[in-house]
Amino acid sequence: MEAIRKQASKFREQVAKQQQAVLKQFGGGGYGGSDNVITDEAELQQHQKLEKLYISTRAGKHFQRDIVRGVEGFIVTGSKQVEIGTKLSEDCRKYGVENTCTSGNTLSKAALNYGRARAQIEKERGNLLKALGTQVAEPLRAMVMGAPLEDARHLAQRYERMRQEAEAQAIEVSKRQAKMREATGNADNTLKLEAAEAKLHDLKSNMAILGKEAAAAMAAVEAQQQRLTLQRLIATVESERAYHQRVLQILEQLETEVWNDVTKFFYLSIVASGSMICLVQCFML
């Protein structure tokens, strides 16, 4: 689509140049002069500016939509992970509470600690998903579907239609000028030429006003797109960083608790083994 749009834009510029050449040829020093041609330098710059703004805001809209879709997919997948992790947490807690092992409770305590830590991690994951939904997806979706962007695009499209109408009217003026030269003194041709020139003048005046309004609206939307998207990306980074930092703290605390229990278990095992050896030696004596 982008290649087609670029080709169409190039074709319009070629047509505009051809029209300008025709107008100069038929207009001489009259209406077809460089100051009155529809594709004068100022108008051409306005047109090119609007085209760039249109392409930029369209790309910005598509990028915002991609982010929303990505975040929504992440939330769906993350919600399933929360569900699975919560079930694992509950299973570990249940084993820790109901354990009937006769050789000690080290595994039970480790299961309880892991279950508690896993529940905390899933809570943090849920908070992350909620933050991504409310702070990232919703604001971007609102802008993609919002009125300012559509209103600005409609203004640009109205300007483009008026520009095409003005180009067609400029050709009509050149034809009227040619007919007037061929039939000098024809009052009817003179009146038609004056009417065509007046219509072209009105079109150019209205087009200039509409072009400025459209450019201002599109520029405002572009700035808002850039600012909002950047802010939401930063919010995403900050939310994920806070989540991973919190999860790291939970895991470090869990590791400490588990290793303390394991160390105590082995220590007691060694002590028990030593006591057993001493008892056997006593009986042997």
Of 30-34, 129-133, 140-144, least confident by mean pLDDT is 30-34
**Comparing 175 with 119, which gets the higher pLDDT?**
119
pLDDT band at 8 (very low <50, low <70, confident <90, very high): low
List pLDDT tens digits, range 215-225.
999 999 999 99
User: What is the reported pLDDT for 95?
Assistant: 93
List pLDDT tens digits, range 55-99.
999 999 999 999 999 999 999 999 999 999 999 999 999 999 988
User: What is the reported pLDDT for 241?
Assistant: 97
Kindly tell me if the per-residue pLDDT of 283 is higher than 50.
no
Q: What is the DSSP string of the chain?
A: -HHHHHHHHHHHHHHHHHHHHHHHHHHTTSTTSTTT-TT-HHHHHHHHHHHHHHHHHHHHHHHHHHHHHHHHHHHHHHHHHHHHHHHHHHHHHHHHHH---SS-SHHHHHHHHHHHHHHHHHHHHHHHHHHHIIIIIHHHHHHHT-HHHHHHHHHHHHHHHHHHHHHHHHHHHHHHHHHHHHTTT-HHHHHHHHHHHHHHHHHHHHHHHHHHHHHHHHHHHHHHHHHHHHHHHHHHHHHHHHHHHHHHHHHHHHHHHHHHHHHHHHHHHHHHHHHHHHHHHHHH-
Residue 90's nearest CA partner among 112, 121, 123 is: 112
Q: What is the DSSP string of 212-225?
A: HHHHHHHHHHHHHH
List pLDDT tens digits, range 159-203.
989 988 988 888 888 888 887 777 666 677 778 888 888 888 888
Kindly tell me if the per-residue pLDDT of 1 is higher than 60.
no
262: which residues sit within 8 A by CB, 6+ positions away?
Answer: 106, 110
Measured over the CA atoms of residue 36, residue 40, residue 45 and residue 46, the dihedral's sign is positive
Amino acid (1-letter code) at residue 122: E
Contact 110, 261 (CB under 8 A): yes
User: What is the reported pLDDT for 105?
Assistant: 84
User: What is the reported pLDDT for 44?
Assistant: 84
Both tokens assigned to 279: 């008892």
User: Once rounded to an integer, what is the mean pLDDT over residues 107-135?
Assistant: 95
**Comparing 128 with 103, which gets the higher pLDDT?**
128
CA-angle at 261, arms to 258 and 262, nearest 5°: 85
Report the 10 Å Cβ neighbour count for 228.
16
Q: Give me the chain's average pLDDT, please.
A: 81
User: What is the reported pLDDT for 271?
Assistant: 54
List pLDDT tens digits, range 139-166.
999 999 988 888 998 998 899 899 889 8
Report the 10 Å Cβ neighbour count for 140.
24
Angle of helix 187-284 relative to helix 106-132, nearest 10 degrees?
Answer: 170
Kindly tell me if the per-residue pLDDT of 107 is higher than 70.
yes
Both tokens assigned to 97: 């509470």
pTM, to two decimals: 0.70
Of 163-172, 233-242, 268-277, least confident by mean pLDDT is 268-277
User: What is the reported pLDDT for 224?
Assistant: 95
User: What is the reported pLDDT for 29?
Assistant: 34
